[in-house]
Amino acid sequence: MSLAPEYLTYPQRSYGMDHDRYDWSMLADRKAVLWPGEARLALWINVSLQFFPMNQQGVPFPPPGGMTMPYPDLRHFTLRDYGNRVGIFRVLEALRSRGLNASFAVNGQLAERTPALVKELAGIGEIIAHGWNMDTPHYGGLDRDTEQKQVADSLAALRDLSGQAVRGWLSPGRNESEHTPELLAEHGVDYLCDWVNDEMPYPFRTSKGPLTALPLSTELEDRFVIQNNLHSESSWQEQVCDACDLLLGEAESRGGRLLTLSLHPWLIGQPHRIGKLEAVLDYILAKDIWSAHPSDIVARWQAQQ
């Protein structure tokens, strides 16, 4: 019994990362970043608008929040559709009444299905591309031409309907193939929100030109905390408030910090949950924050590098 010799050789064992996508860098060692008005904390709220097809293929894995029952899974199809019909309007009102900015990450196919909604969102905040639908994941081994079409179609649908340049990208289920960053760079994307390895923007390499990685926290996301971890709504509220306090404290000596809130209207827009979002927003709003669109955060950061 033994393993192949390659299992005990370590070709990447040297300084820095074991890949070329970005450089090794510790947050605490970086130059302080100043946000507008010397706010200590930038707040980025991202609301994901998603289409989960009922004929889900699940190749090579099903999307988080996708169908789980035998076809036709009316239960999950309609529960997700609820977010785009009902939940989103509760979320929008919570933001509007507090004067908060947000981005909307929209599946390309949802833009086709609900053009009026996307036009309305484009008038409110920044549109980010969120792939074609939740069942078209970007993954290792995906054919490059297929992926190229998904990227192109998603961006075209959203740019056309929103009238915005659409420079940001969040992959469905946050999965990527080995080609995704190059394809995004080729299609006019400037910043990428899939990676969760930092709390501030950082430079990201592709062979087709540089991107900026703008991490959107999964650990604090409504879906991850409430649906994946099965924590209570109250606990989610506490967790966001605790995170807000910690980052504010750190910003006192280390420069501006970034709090990201990733929201799903099909989950947080439910009647028993929306109040927790409102309470979270009230708590954060009372602090020294800059409520910003993601492209403004990237631009502000970039100007200081």
Residue 287: CB minimum distance to other proteins, A: 13
| By the rule CB under 8 A, 99 interacts with other proteins | no
| CB count in 10 Å sphere of residue 17 | 13
- Bridge partners (DSSP) of residue 211 are 204
Residue 98: CB minimum distance to other proteins, A: 21
| By the rule CB under 8 A, 55 interacts with other proteins | no
Contacts of 57 (CB under 8 A, 6+ apart): 135
Contact 269, 94 (CB under 8 A): no
| By the rule CB under 8 A, 198 interacts with other proteins | yes
Q: Of the listed pieces 3-11, 32-40, 48-56, 125-133, which binds other proteins according to CB under 8 A?
A: 3-11
Residue 19: CB minimum distance to other proteins, A: 5
Whichever of 101 and 235 has its CB closer to other proteins, that residue is 235
Number of H helices, E strands in the chain: 11, 9
| By the rule CB under 8 A, 175 interacts with other proteins | yes
User: Cα 132 from chain centroid?
Assistant: 15
Q: Of the listed pieces 18-26, 104-112, 160-168, 294-302, which binds other proteins according to CB under 8 A?
A: 18-26
Among 124, 195, 203, 227, binds other proteins (CB under 8 A): 195
Determine how β-strand 211-213 pairs with β-strand 202-204: antiparallel
The tokens for 266 are 């099909």
DSSP 8-state code for residue 270: S
Q: Of the listed pieces 81-89, 149-157, 235-243, 284-292, which binds other proteins according to CB under 8 A?
A: 235-243
- Spatial separation of the C-alpha atoms in residues 102 and 127, rounded to whole Å: 9
Q: Of the listed pieces 20-28, 70-78, 106-114, 290-298, which binds other proteins according to CB under 8 A?
A: 20-28
Whichever of 230 and 303 has its CB closer to other proteins, that residue is 230
Residue 151: CB minimum distance to other proteins, A: 16
Binding-site residue total for other proteins (CB under 8 A)? 58
3-state secondary structure of 216: coil
Residue 56: CB minimum distance to other proteins, A: 17
| By the rule CB under 8 A, 18 interacts with other proteins | yes
Among 101, 164, 235, 270, binds other proteins (CB under 8 A): 235
- From residue 114 to residue 143, what is the string marking binding to other proteins with x (rule CB under 8 A)? -------------------------xxx--
| By the rule CB under 8 A, 7 interacts with other proteins | yes
Tell me how far CA of residue 275 lies from CA of 47, 219, 236, 244, in angstroms. Answer: 16, 21, 12, 18
- Spatial separation of the C-alpha atoms in residues 96 and 114, rounded to whole Å: 21
- Spatial separation of the C-alpha atoms in residues 111 and 155, rounded to whole Å: 10
- Spatial separation of the C-alpha atoms in residues 241 and 247, rounded to whole Å: 10
- Spatial separation of the C-alpha atoms in residues 124 and 89, rounded to whole Å: 12
- Spatial separation of the C-alpha atoms in residues 131 and 172, rounded to whole Å: 6
| Binding-site ranges for other proteins (CB under 8 A) | 1-4, 6-8, 10, 12-19, 24-29, 60-61, 139-141, 174-178, 194-199, 218-220, 228-232, 235, 238-240, 242-247, 250, 259
